[in-house]
Structure 1
């Protein structure tokens, strides 16, 4: 998993489409959805950790601007 797009594609496999118009809000919702998929054991540990790290970095970068 290398980009936010990859995370969106992963979520899309499970029927989750997120667009609120607020980029930070979208990323936070993606993180919550990932948490749920991980708890239900739909996604692997390494995919979960990579996705959470990417989301955290992107959120931090957007908040700095």
Structure 2
């Protein structure tokens, strides 16, 4: 699954550490998600979407 987390995080002016803290996960988790190495759980995907102000389907997609 592909995503645009990195672009949205940067637009929001957040560092990986900042987003990780807001979501209650490690920076390594954010790195893995941004590099398409880890597909987050539905709960985490929904938290990311809420934090970044978009729907899950706008952030995560099949290519």
TM (normalized to structure 1)? 0.34
More helix by share: 1
Q: Looking at both structures, which has the greater relative contact order when contacts are Cα pairs under 8 Å and sequence separation is at least 6?
A: 2
Taking structure 2 as the reference length, the TM-score comes to: 0.35
Radius of gyration: which is bigger? 1
